[in-house]
Amino acid sequence: MERLTLDVNGAFDPAAGGLARADLDALAAPARAAFDGFEARRRAGEVGFADLPADAAAAEASRALAAELGRRFENLLVLGIGGSSLGGRAVLGALCHPFHNLLPQDRRGGLRVFFPDNSDPATFAALLDTVDLERTCFATVTKSGGTAETMSQHMVLRERVVARFGEEGYRERCVLVTDPQRGVLRQIAADERLRALPLGASIGGRFSVLSPVGLLPAAAAGVDTAALLAGAAELEARCRSGAVLENPALLYAAVLHLLDVRRGRRLHVLMPYADALRDLGDWFVQLWAESLGKNPGTGPTPIRAVGATDQHSSLQLMMEGPHDKVVTLVRVAEPRAELTIPLPAGYARHPDLAYLGGHTMGELLEAERRATGAALRKNGRPTISIELPRLEPRTVGQLLMFLELATAYAGGLYGVNAFDQPGVEAGKRYAQGLLGRPGYEKYRDELLGAPAADPALVLG
């Protein structure tokens, strides 16, 4: 069976300022405790993301609804933000054609899928002016039903759709993904007779990619979601040990944790050498940051980079800046496509170009990855390597589950709850107070009562 491979040797390289095996040995008991703590919460029904691959009913409901929408429409707008958007976008970015939405219908194999994500009115207005509403459906994704950014998009789009197609046309075009029992969106589903997929109480937004949150847009775009879930199940099965050298996700969490607390490597760079994993990097940033950043002494900062693009930008800082980074290099062994580099006759006399002739672009990218890793380590920077045989649903499912489990285990190692986000909620309360939400007046008053700005520090 082809599967994800984790190699942490670059994190133990003495030349890279890496760890000693004794550091890992000393973490064996805390790592097992982190594993046991996660499993206890899982058995208690508090945390459910690792069990999603076995939820056949949710997977089938997502596929069936996607198929129904695909028979009637051409465009799917996914209205969600953060974990309600990033996971689906990551899956489509990894597994669909790089220009999926530009392909003709007979080549796409599914709907065109758009993730407006943010509530920037310029972006959302431009999207609504671009797509044909006659051929467009939309999925509103918010577990609570009260996410201001998502519901503002929903209400704007609802008004346009009802005005043009009536209430029945709205019901045909709108589906929801929300809590199965509670929340304002669940009530709206009942009041407006809308189709709704459930997002269980034990599934947090940033851990929801393998739930209907990610499966609906993936299936709508033509992704084999059964294989995606099968790969996730395979990786989860590999991680049923509390021994750090038997569980790849636990090893990854342990090494990153040790590099942080023992070596001051507080910036964790995920650098895939595949454009298709660019959006997955954004998903990882939310997963790692929102799960682990819970107090001033805890919170490694995740950074998304892409090879070889960022070799021409942020690599300079990684290579010669502060010794506070560890870089995870992600390799895809077999690229989805390959191109041989030709050598025109007039170019052969230029040594700076002639050496490229006859190689493939995949060979160039792989040489860049290997060279970057070696140069980082030689310059005192530890690295970690993840390899996927190829980008296909099964291996991408493995990678998603690997990173989710590693995040959960890291929470245990840091002694924080990886499944809440109190800091995010604080900002939301101020914003909702400013907009006049009942019961939030004290937050508005606190914000408006802040000391006046010093005009000398404002330049216009």
Please check whether residue 430 lies inside any domain of the structure.
no
The answer to whether residues 235 and 268 belong to one domain is: yes
Would you say residue 242 has pLDDT above 70? yes
Q: Exposed, middle or buried: residue 352 (CB in 10 Å: 0-12, 13-18, 19+)?
A: exposed
State whether 222 and 112 are in the same domain.
yes
The secondary structure of residue 449, as a DSSP letter, is T
pLDDT band at 448 (very low <50, low <70, confident <90, very high): confident
Strands (E), 26-95: 75-79
pLDDT given for residue 453 in this prediction? 83
Give the residue with greater pLDDT, 298 vs 51. Answer: 51
Tell me the per-residue pLDDT of 9-57, one tens digit each, with 9 for 90 and over. 999 999 999 999 999 999 999 999 999 999 999 999 999 999 999 999 9
- The pLDDT value recorded for residue 146 is 85
The pLDDT of residue 270 is above 70: yes
Q: Are 158 and 176 in contact (CB under 8 A)?
A: no
Span of 67-76, 170-179, 294-303, 361-370 with lowest mean pLDDT: 294-303
396-418 pLDDT per residue, tens: 999 999 999 999 999 999 999 99
Residue 316 pLDDT exceeds 90: yes
pTM: 0.95
How much is the average pLDDT of 295-307? 92
What is the percent of the chain where pLDDT is above 70?
Answer: 98
Domain match, 79 and 130 both: yes
Number of domains in the chain: 2
Confidence band for 432, pLDDT divided at 50, 70 and 90: confident
Q: What mean pLDDT comes out for the span 429-445?
A: 74
Residue 94 lies in a domain: yes
- Judgement on whether residues 107 and 196 belong to the same structural domain of the protein: yes
| Token digits of residue 39 | 């499993």
Q: Are residues 272 and 333 in the same domain?
A: yes
Residue that terminates a domain, selected from 226, 245, 280:
226
Identify whether residues 319 and 406 lie together within a single domain: yes
Examine the fold and report which residue of 199, 226, 253 is the final residue of a domain before the chain moves on: 226
Q: Tell how many helices (H) and how many strands (E) occur in the chain.
A: 18, 10
Same domain, 334 and 406: yes
Report the C-alpha gap between 77 and 89 in whole angstroms: 12
Does 391 have pLDDT greater than 80?
yes
**3-class SS at 152?**
helix
Give me the pLDDT at residue 41, please.
97
Instruction: Look at residues 226, 255, 284 and tell me which one is the last residue of a structural domain.
Output: 226
Same domain, 179 and 242: no
Q: What does pLDDT average to over the chain?
A: 95
Q: Average of pLDDT values for 284-295?
A: 95
The answer to whether residue 101 sits within a structural domain is: yes
Same domain membership, residue 270 and residue 208: no
Query: Could you tell me if 187 and 169 are in contact, meaning their C-beta atoms sit under 8 angstroms apart?
Result: no
* 327-338: pLDDT as tens digits: 999 999 999 999
Least confident range of 22-26, 142-146, 389-393: 142-146
Active-site hit among 2, 39, 68, 428: 428
If you average pLDDT over residues 148-158, what whole number do you get?
96
Q: Is residue 426 part of a domain?
A: no
Place of tokens 């789009």: 157
Q: What pLDDT, on the 0 to 100 scale, is given for residue 434?
A: 67
Query: Do the beta carbons of residue 381 and residue 321 sit within 8 Å?
Result: no
Same domain, 282 and 217: no
Judged against a pLDDT cut of 80, whether residue 207 lies above it is answered with yes
pLDDT higher than threshold 90 for residue 196: yes
Task: Please tell me whether residues 357 and 401 are part of one structural domain.
Answer: yes
428 in catalytic set: yes
Is residue 79 domain-shared with residue 218, that is, in the same domain? yes
**Which CATH number goes with the domain that contains 191?**
3.40.50.10490
Note down the domain range covering 254.
Answer: 5-41+229-414
Residue 13 located in a structural domain: yes
Q: Domain for residue 424, yes or no?
A: no
Least Cα distance to 193 among 217, 218, 176 occurs for: 176
Task: Report, in angstroms and rounded to the nearest whole number, the Rg of the chain calculated over CA atoms.
Answer: 24
Average pLDDT over residues 429-444: 75
Q: Identify whether 363 is a catalytic site residue.
A: no
Q: Determine the pLDDT at residue 28.
A: 98
Residues 6+ positions from 56 with CB-CB distance below 8 Å: none
Higher pLDDT, 460 or 429: 460
pLDDT at 446 over 80: no
pLDDT of residue 1: 64
- % residues pLDDT > 90 (the chain): 87
- Residues listed for the chain: 460
Q: Is 440 part of a structural domain of the chain?
A: no
Q: Name the pLDDT band for 381 (thresholds 50, 70, 90).
A: very high
Which is catalytic among the residues 149, 234, 236, 290? 290
For residue 208, being part of any structural domain is answered with yes
With cut-offs at 50, 70 and 90, classify the pLDDT of residue 258: very high
Q: Is position 294 annotated as part of the catalytic site? A: no
Distance CA 370, CA 384 (A): 12
In the chain, the N- to C-terminal Cα span, in Å, equals 62
